[in-house]
Amino acid sequence: MRTGNRLALALGKGLGSTSRLFKVGGGSTLPGRAARILSPSLVPNMVKELPLGCVLVTGTNGKTTTAALLAGILDRAGMTPVHNRTGANLMAGIASALIKESDLGGHLAGRIGLFEVDEAALPAAVAETSPRLVLVNNLFRDQLDRYGELDTLASLMKEAVRTLDPESIVVLNADDPLVASIGRDLPHRVLYYGIDTDRYGSGSMQHAADSTHCAECGSRLTYEYYLFGHMGQYKCPACGTSRPESRVSAVELEMVELEGTRCRVRHPGGETTLFIPLPGLYNVYNVLAAMSCALALEIEIGTIKEGIEEFKAAFGRVERVEAEGRHMLMILAKNPAGLNEVIRTLTGGAGRKNVVLALNDNIADGRDVSWIWDVDFEMLRDRLGKVVCSGIRAADMALRVKYAELGEDSLAVEPDLETALDRGLEMVKPGETIYLVPTYTAMLELRRSMVKRGLVAPYWEG
């Protein structure tokens, strides 16, 4: 390593332990930000130390869960990933993960880099890490206030993927028309995955659907069925472009309420039956994505199955916490597609669900809260019991609930998250479940409050 890199590394390591020591956080971005300013070539030089190269995981929804699933599999396969597992997914987060896992000479404890990357940061991440594999899971409207429009984002991503080493592999979701279009005419090896059964398909689309026009010619796509947002079995009636054939496919699905999903997956090596211990169709996609990456990295299918079946959710995404004899189930919902899927999950099972909906509008949540009007809250009619709306924009959330004509009898507005957590626990009896549905920074805050109450461990110890 060059002297500049060494200095930057030493500074980064110092900042990381300081921020953990003073409990200002896990040190997940500050060390990397500082070190990269001091030495811009730090990341490109450090990744050269990884004998098995780098894998990048991107897409609007499910990055953290997919990367965590893949990390579990890589670990089992003895590939020891260096992984930005706290979900800090801009370049600074990647640099911080590398710094944390390295000694002062730049020698890394891991053998393969596994980085979840913000969609807009993909071009920079490709340039700096020269990945051997790039996964794109889905593209939804998320924080358009940061990214501009979805089509523009997709073409920037496509350009970035084109610059990959010719030996690199690209793993894409066949069911998402915009994502699938990234693989069209790409000289690289492309592995498509998807859901090949209409068991949970529907004839109409949720409001959160985004990409309904052909990426090639702009015509309106026609769908045999929709699965999740704009994902499904589609084709373009004008130019004939259609969903590419998926080589890793879920051919049978059976959802078991909030527990998870049983599925049969067809892949190039045969068929495998497994139980996904995470709820919702979106987690089926996350699992198919992680499986496809693992197969592309030539990991044996038995190891992959074990890694998935014994997976514990990344912090906050889906977290089960026990408190005062009550069950709390916290499910992160950071955009319309994600929240729609959470709602679909909540409609399952008997009885009315008691929920705390927490809406923040910090930069990491997106300043614009209008996305809640793209969510089909109406699906919850007659399914909700007591509702507490919380977070900085609690009143906006309460209005959405009101205009969906839900929770008329018991709709409380409590912006303070700590108090909302208390209210939530008060409104269910011991043995019952309270569902917490927060946006990203509201989730962090709720979790801090749970740490303080001794209910969960801090995420950097998790």
Partner 1 sequence: MQIKIGYLYPDLMNIYGDHGNVLTLVKRCQWRGIAVEVVALNPGDRIGHGEYDIFFMGGGQDREQVMVCRDLQEAKGEDIKREIEEGAAALVICGGYQLFGNFYRPFEGEELPGISVFDAYTVAGKKRCIGNVVAKSALGGKLGTVVGFENHSGKTYLGDGCAPLGTVTVGYGNNGEDKTEGATYRGAIGTYLHGSLLPKNPAVADFLIEKALARRGNDISLEGLDDSLELAAHAAAVKRAVKTH
Helix pair 3-21, 91-100: axis angle to 10 deg: 90
Using the rule CB under 8 A, give the single segment among 274-282, 284-292, 326-334, 400-408 that binds partner 1: 400-408
CB 223 within 8 A of CB 162: no
CB 424 within 8 A of CB 400: no
Q: Whole-number minimum distance, CB 213 to partner 1, in Å?
A: 7
Among the listed residues 122, 150, 170, 434, the single contact to partner 1 using CB under 8 A: 150
Strand partners, 322: 327
Please tell me whether residue 295 binds partner 1 under the rule CB under 8 A.
no
Using the rule CB under 8 A, give the single segment among 57-65, 78-86, 182-190, 393-401 that binds partner 1: 393-401
Q: Whole-number minimum distance, CB 60 to partner 1, in Å?
A: 15
Q: Whole-number minimum distance, CB 381 to partner 1, in Å?
A: 13
Per-residue x/- mask for partner 1, residues 188 to 217, rule CB under 8 A? -------------------x----xx----
**Interface size with partner 1, residues (CB under 8 A):** 35
Q: Whole-number minimum distance, CB 424 to partner 1, in Å?
A: 20
Per-residue x/- mask for partner 1, residues 306 to 345, rule CB under 8 A? ------------------------------x---------
Please tell me whether residue 381 binds partner 1 under the rule CB under 8 A.
no
Among the listed residues 225, 275, 373, 460, the single contact to partner 1 using CB under 8 A: 373
Intra-chain end-to-end CA distance of the chain, in Å = 32
Q: Whole-number minimum distance, CB 394 to partner 1, in Å?
A: 8
Note every long-range contact of 34-38, with CB atoms under 8 Å and residues 24 or more positions apart, other chains counting. 34/8, 35/8, 35/9, 35/11, 35/95, 35/99, 36/8, 36/91, 36/92, 36/95, 38/4, 38/7, 38/8, 38/11
Q: Whole-number minimum distance, CB 220 to partner 1, in Å?
A: 8
The Cα 458–Cα 97 span in angstroms is 17
Q: Which of 16/336 has CB closer to partner 1?
A: 336
Using the rule CB under 8 A, give the single segment among 281-289, 293-301, 345-353, 398-406 that binds partner 1: 398-406
Task: Determine phi and psi for 88, rounding to 5 degrees.
Answer: -80, 105
Using the rule CB under 8 A, give the single segment among 155-163, 304-312, 389-397, 433-441 that binds partner 1: 389-397
Please tell me whether residue 142 binds partner 1 under the rule CB under 8 A.
no
Please tell me whether residue 374 binds partner 1 under the rule CB under 8 A.
yes
Q: Whole-number minimum distance, CB 389 to partner 1, in Å?
A: 10
Please tell me whether residue 237 binds partner 1 under the rule CB under 8 A.
no
CB 329 within 8 A of CB 259: no
How many other CB atoms sit within 10 Å of the CB of residue 146? 15
Among the listed residues 132, 141, 247, 447, the single contact to partner 1 using CB under 8 A: 141
Residues 13-42 that bind partner 1 (CB under 8 A): none
Among the listed residues 107, 220, 312, 453, the single contact to partner 1 using CB under 8 A: 220
Please tell me whether residue 416 binds partner 1 under the rule CB under 8 A.
no
Quote the tokens at residue 74: 């890589």
| Interacting residues with partner 1 (CB under 8 A) | 141, 144-145, 148-151, 207, 212-213, 218, 220, 336, 361, 367-374, 392-396, 398-400, 402-403, 405, 413, 415
